[in-house]
Amino acid sequence: MLKAAIVGASGYTGAELIRLLLAHPKVEITALYARRAAGSSIGEVFPQLAPQLSMTIEAFDPDHVAANAEVAFCALPHGQSARAVAALYERGLKVVDLSADYRLRSAASYAEWYGSEKEPEHPHPELIGEAAYGLPELHRGSIRVAKITASPGCYPTSAILALSPLVRAGLISTEGIVVDAKSGVTGAGRSPGQATHFPEAGEGVRAYKVGGLHRHTAEIEQELGAIAGNELKVTFTPHLLPMSRGILCCAYARPSRDDVDTAALRKAMNDAYGDEPFVRVMPEGKLPDTAHVRGSNRAQVTALRDRRSGQVIAISAIDNLVKGASGQAIQALNLMQGWDETLGLMGGAIFP
């Protein structure tokens, strides 16, 4: 059994990592770390996990991790993960980082989107080139040989899965792409805040960080631009929905030619995902639904052409905490270990 540590074990993605790894046939959880929750048992922090795991959460210390584990998942807030990942990498561990710290391929881009007054630059730019972007459907080869995998953001996972086959097949114009995505509240993590407080989030739907302000824009543009072979800009509008989990992404683009029809769009989706274990192209006439992927590592996708306006519409549904975070991180670990990519991840959705 491979010994795995989870750093950031008391958060939402940490809880999902534990839940999924407990069912993994080749991984044993050997250590858990957090900050405020250090000293508590996992059963105190997550009562639902108590019957399966009795373990005390420790304060993060890279030497302690190295003494107890061969791989580590870092599920820390962005900015805090970069140093933890570097310390673990230095000690010879393989790391899957769920934060944004190693997702952007250039230090300048990181500084633009994530730099702060206190820390304007990436603290470990020398490691950016070491990290694979952990979307297996696009980067399986580089993940297999990586020592660090930067697991994608939840919104980027949904947008890139919906749009990348169409960009690759040259079916849509790379100018004027609109990504309109809706997320459940767990996307904001476990720490309470006014925007995610039940009375404020429970009875309304709102857009936020509109107009090029959401940091995931950079990741979407990076990955789609790399496929297109040119820089591109997307209009990304995220929304907060009164549900715990799930992302529904509706993306809009102009077709690259007049003769691009729904059949061509569906062929591009099927060519891209026909052999993918976790991405299902919906049958014609059926649409992705977050309720049908909830709790699973599965994604549903479709694409069609609006019969009146001629616009191309690409849609995806994922669970932000599983395919958008912890499940995808385990999928990457499976690849990094040379294992069957689906190990521990074939559980179905929880419905209703």
The structure tokens listed for 193 are 């805040």
Number of residues engaging ligand NAP in binding (CB under 6 A): 31
Asked if 171 interacts with ligand NAP (CB under 6 A), we say: no
Query: Is residue 302 close enough to count as binding ligand NAP by CB under 6 A?
Result: no
Whether 154 sits among the annotated catalytic residues: the reply is yes
Specify the 3-state DSSP secondary structure of 269: helix
> What minimum distance in Å lies between the beta carbon of 325 and ligand NAP?
3
Torsion, CA 119, CA 73, CA 319, CA 232, rounded to 10: 50
- Which C-beta is closer to ligand NAP: that of 76 or that of 312? 76
Q: Does 20 bind ligand NAP (CB under 6 A)?
A: no
Cβ 51 to ligand NAP shortest distance, Å: 21
Query: Is position 48 an interface residue for ligand NAP (rule: CB under 6 A)?
Result: no
- Decide if 101 contacts 85 (C-beta within 8 A): yes
Q: Does 103 bind ligand NAP (CB under 6 A)?
A: no
**Angle, vertex CA 43, rays to CA 37 and CA 44, nearest 5:** 50
Q: Binding of ligand NAP at residue 46 (CB under 6 A)?
A: no
Q: What is the DSSP string of 137-161?
A: HHHHHHHHT-SEEEPPPHHHHHHHH
- Choice between 10 and 331, CB closer to ligand NAP: 10
Residues 6+ apart with CB under 8 A from 259: none
Under rule CB under 6 A, residue 182 binds ligand NAP: no
- Please, are residues 198 and 115 in contact by the beta-carbon 8 Å criterion? no
Q: Tokens in use for 1?
A: 């059994």
Residues 51-80 that bind ligand NAP (CB under 6 A): 60, 75-78, 80
Each residue 137-166 as x (binds ligand NAP by CB under 6 A) or -, in order, gives ----------------xx------------
Q: Containing H/E element for 58?
A: strand 58-59
Is residue 10 a contact point for ligand NAP (CB under 6 A)?
A: yes
Please give the structure tokens belonging to residue 45.
């922090």
Q: Is 31 in the site for ligand NAP (CB under 6 A)?
A: no
**Contact call for residues 187 and 214 (beta carbons, < 8 A):** no
**Per CB under 6 A, 187 contacts ligand NAP:** yes
C-alpha to C-alpha distance for 225 and 219, rounded to whole angstroms? 10
List the interface residues with ligand NAP, window 188-247 (CB under 6 A): 189-191
Query: Do the beta carbons of residue 33 and residue 8 sit within 8 Å?
Result: yes
Closest distance to ligand NAP from the beta carbon of 307 (Å): 35
CB contact set of 203 (below 8 Å; sequence gap of 6+): 242
Q: Which of 2, 3, 23, 35 binds ligand NAP (CB under 6 A)?
A: 35
- Minimum CB distance to ligand NAP smaller for 220 or for 313: 220
**The tokens of 267 are what?**
């062929």
Q: Which of 9, 42, 317, 335 binds ligand NAP (CB under 6 A)?
A: 9
Catalogue the active-site residues.
154
Binding residues for ligand NAP, rule: CB under 6 A, are 8-14, 33-37, 60, 75-78, 80, 98-99, 153-154, 186-187, 189-191, 320-321, 324-325
